[in-house]
Structure 1
Amino acid sequence: MSRPGFENVFVLNTGRCGSTTLARACAHLTSHGAGHETRTHLTGPDRLAYPSPHIEADNRLSWFLGRLDETWGDRAAYVHLTRDPEAVARSFVARPNPGILRAYRTGILLGAGWKAPAPDPLVLARDYVDTVTANIRHFLRDKSRVMELRLETLEDDLPRFLDWIGATGDLAAARAEIAHRHNATPEA
């Protein structure tokens, strides 16, 4: 079982930074359940009613941080998973389905896609990455259980993360999973 206080682990991120890969690595654990965007279709209290102990990687949690704090607060551990911001922005722009970036452009920025001139997609993606990163950093400022992981060093950092949460299971398979690129943006 996980260490006391590590009831759940939330992997906060912008997207396009290895969250699918990390979730697949954590799926090899027996000490924790693990998932990637498992409750995105739910509303109200159900949206954040994760089983325990569980590791959840979901970039959309950055828009639920107030409710995440009310529901889990400092009982959970938090990982801020990052990647070079320019690489993240370029990955978003290169995606065939713009997904959350389209929602940011047309919903959060309220019509940025309809007014002339339309924003440059890379400028928009950079703004999204900066906004979500700032939201996450602000949320984490008063949390006592926080770890930062970077996609660029994830292979080396994974053992530290697994030890931090007291993980058990097939740790070799978890480490091997990191070597695969999951949900990678297709190369042009």
Structure 2
Amino acid sequence: MNIFVLSTGRCGSTTFAVASKHITGSLDKVYGNRAFYVHLIREREEVAHSFVKRYNSGIMEAYRKRVFIGLSSHKTSPLEVCRHYYDTVNANIEMFLKDKDSQLTVWLNNAEEGFASFWNQIGAQGDKAAAIREWQHQHNASAPIPPQ
């Protein structure tokens, strides 16, 4: 089984990957080439504020310099650029998933329950309790913005 986790980033995708390491077995041999899609999502303002902390590197630097062109990113606040990124990526994910039969939306604020549902829907085997416990730890958290 192919599983694709789609997200803006800054919404638990690293933790989702760490928790998935507790899955054992060979799903591909059992399920073949069918894909299961997970839309991992977090509240807009939380994602935008997290991306502001990483505004000058990674995807946000690329987005504002190469994608946001023509939208006057130099006149737009970093928070507004990050909100625009969030809206654009999530709209694209929703459009992509509109006709997919095997999908699940997992909200970060309810990740333990969402991951348990994911586990059950794909028929995962392994240490489910250990996988769920991973959601009690922050992975890849942004450092606070230093005072200026």
TM-score (norm 2): 0.87
Query: What CA RMSD, in Å, does the superposition of the two structures yield over aligned residues?
Result: 2.1
Q: How many residues of Structure 1 are paired with residues of Structure 2 in the alignment?
A: 142
| Aligned match of 2:107 | 150
Structure possessing the higher relative contact order (Cα contacts under 8 Å, 6 or more residues apart):
2
Higher helix fraction (1 or 2): 2
Task: Give the equivalent residue in structure 1 for 2:140.
Answer: 183
Describe the SS at the equivalent of 1:14.
Answer: coil
3-state DSSP class of the match of 1:183?
Answer: coil
CA shift digits 1:62-107 (9 cap, x unpaired)? xxxxxxxxxx7xx311011000011100100012753101111111
Of the candidates 164, 167, 174, which is equivalent to residue 121 of structure 2? 164
Which residue of structure 1 lines up, in the alignment, with residue 2 of structure 2?
A: 8
2:12 to 15, 18, 21: 18
The answer to whether residue 95 in structure 2 is matched with residue 101 in structure 1 is no
Provide Cα deviations, 1:123-165, integer angstroms capped at 9, x if missing partner: 0000000000000000000000110000000012221110011
- Unpaired runs of 5+ in structure 2? none
Gap regions ≥5 residues in structure 1: 1-6, 34-51, 54-71
Instruction: Give runs of aligned pairs for residues 109-124 of structure 1, distance below 5 A.
Output: 109-110=68-69, 117-124=74-81
**1:147 counterpart SS class:** strand
Identity across matched positions, percent: 47
User: Residue 22 of structure 1: SS of its match in structure 2?
Assistant: helix
Residue 79 of structure 1 aligns with an amino acid whose one-letter code is V
TM-score in terms of structure 1 length: 0.69
State the distance in 2 between where 1:79 and 1:145 align.
9
Tell me by how many angstroms 1:110 deviates. 2.9
